[in-house]
Amino acid sequence: TSTGWPSHHLHDHAAQSQIFEDQLLSLVSHGVFNRFPTLKFVLMESGVTWLPSFIWRAIKTWRGVRAEVPWVDRSPAETIRDHIRLTVQPFDADPNADIVKRLIDQIDSDKVLLFASDWPHWQFEGDAILPPGLSDDLIRKIKVDNPLETYPRLRETAP
C-alpha cells in the first residue's frame, strides 16, 4: 500500500484497490498501450467497484495536464476499456441487483469483466461469485466471450 506492507489482513485486503489504481495509471500515463497496441492487461482479485470513480478522476486530470503526457492521445477511459480486464472475484459490490446494474453501466463496457472462481483459496465460491441481476447475455460474456477475446489462444481448445 502507499503506507507500506500492511500488518493485518483487513488493511491488506481493503487497501489493494489503491495499488491497482496506481499500476493502471502508470501503464496508461507511460504510454504502454500506445507502444503495444494489442496488449491486454488483466487485473486479478482487485474488485471492480473502484473502477468507475477511478476512470472519472483519470479523465478529469488528463484533460488538465495533457501537455505533460502528449503520447496519451486519447481519453484514459478509452484506453482502459480497450486494454484492461478485471476479474469478478471478488465482486465487491452491494448484492442489490439495481446497484450492480448501475455499476456495470458506469464502467460503460461489457468487455471489461472476466470470470474468476478464486479456487483454490479458502474463500472459493465457484459460480456464486457472480452478482445478482446480470443478464444471461452478460454472464455469457463474462464467462466465455470476454476470456476468449482476452486470451485468443483459448479458442484453439474451445469446443
Q: Per-residue pLDDT tens, the chain, 159 aa: give them.
A: 677 777 887 777 777 778 889 999 999 999 999 999 999 999 998 888 899 999 999 999 999 999 999 999 999 999 999 999 999 877 787 778 888 888 888 888 889 999 887 766 666 666 667 777 788 898 999 999 999 999 988 888 766
Q: What is the C-alpha to C-alpha distance for residues 12 and 1, in angstroms, rounded to an integer?
A: 8
> How many whole angstroms from its chain centre is CA 16?
13
Q: What's the pLDDT at 109?
A: 83
Q: Are strands 113-114 and 84-87 parallel, antiparallel or unpaired?
A: parallel
Per the CB < 8 A criterion, the answer to whether 58 and 13 are in contact is no
Q: What's the pLDDT at 32?
A: 97
Assigned C-alpha cell, 31: 504510454
Q: Is 45 left (phi over 0), alpha (psi -120 to 50) or beta?
A: left
Assigned C-alpha cell, 155: 479458442
Q: What's the pLDDT at 79?
A: 96
Question: Any idea of the CA torsion for 120, 82, 71, 31, to the nearest 10 degrees?
Answer: 20
Q: What's the pLDDT at 148?
A: 93
| Whole-Å CA distances, 76 to 27, 80, 100, 102 | 10, 6, 23, 21
Q: What's the pLDDT at 121?
A: 67
